[in-house]
């Protein structure tokens, strides 16, 4: 009998994301499936998709339409900020639209520069994963801390690759070993 997806199961899936117009926005390759622990509200799977996966089994293929609040959340205009190029220079080598400025994780807040302190405060208030350069002006850059798909209703076309028991270590850590291995590659 095949295992059903439920709390404490390690699950691997592949999927594509489409907008309501039917345009494919993203595809997860079958050669690099997404692994997650079901019931742990992991960062690598949106809440609505995790809820939709409940009760499915290996081999299941389905589509689910998720409103933005069950996918990547609302678009937050407070995460659209203008920053001087000078302040950004320590964090980015080249300015180009679509470029990415990573979030900070510095423990010693007092030793941060003004730009670092600014990003740290934004992160603490709104928890973005990073900032995408949306516009380049003469002396400033417009950064957006929203997820690329924030504010969008999305359709997920999903195939369940595997459903297994999570190890004790995975349950303690709250994420599957494969997710840790992928993280170590970056």
What are the extents of the domains in the chain? Answer: 9-72+149-184, 77-144
**In which element (H, E) is residue 130 found?**
strand 130-136
CATH class as words, domain 9-72+149-184: alpha beta
pLDDT for 45-66, tens place per residue? 899 999 999 999 999 999 999 9
* Phi/psi at 137 (5° precision): -110, 180
> How high is the pLDDT of residue 85?
83
**What is the pLDDT, as a whole number, of residue 111?**
52
Predicted local distance difference test score (pLDDT) of residue 40: 87
- 31 three-state secondary structure: coil
pLDDT in tens, 11-38: 999 999 999 999 999 999 999 999 999 9
Q: What is the CATH topology of the domain spanning 77-144? A: Thrombin, subunit H (2.40.10)
SS3 state at 113: coil
**Residue numbers in the chain where pLDDT is lower than 50:** 105-110, 112, 125-126, 182-186
Q: What pLDDT score was predicted for residue 178?
A: 83
Confirm if 34 and 124 have CB atoms less than 8 A apart. Answer: no
Between CA 12 and CA 38 the distance in angstroms is 10
Model pLDDT, residue 154:
98
């Amino acid at each position: 009998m095949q295992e059903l997806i439920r709390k404490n199961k390690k699950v691997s899936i592949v999927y594509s994301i489409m907008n309501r117009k039917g345009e494919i926005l993203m595809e997860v390759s079958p050669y690099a499936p997404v692994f997650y622990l079901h019931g742990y509200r992991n960062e690598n799977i949106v809440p609505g998709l995790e809820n939709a996966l409940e009760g499915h089994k290996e081999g299941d293929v389905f589509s689910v339409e998720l409103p933005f609040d069950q996918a990547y959340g609302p678009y937050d205009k407070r995460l659209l900020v203008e920053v001087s190029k000078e302040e950004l220079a320590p964090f980015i080598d080249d300015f180009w639209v679509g470029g990415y400025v990573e979030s900070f994780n510095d423990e010693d807040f007092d030793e941060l520069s003004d730009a670092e302190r600014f990003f740290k405060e934004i992160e603490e208030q709104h928890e973005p994963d990073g900032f995408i350069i949306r516009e380049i002006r003469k002396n400033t850059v417009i950064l957006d801390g929203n997820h690329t798909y924030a504010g969008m209703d999305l359709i997920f076309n999903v195939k369940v690759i595997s459903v297994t028991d999570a190890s004790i270590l995975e349950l303690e850590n709250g994420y599957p070993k494969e997710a840790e291995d992928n993280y170590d590659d970056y």
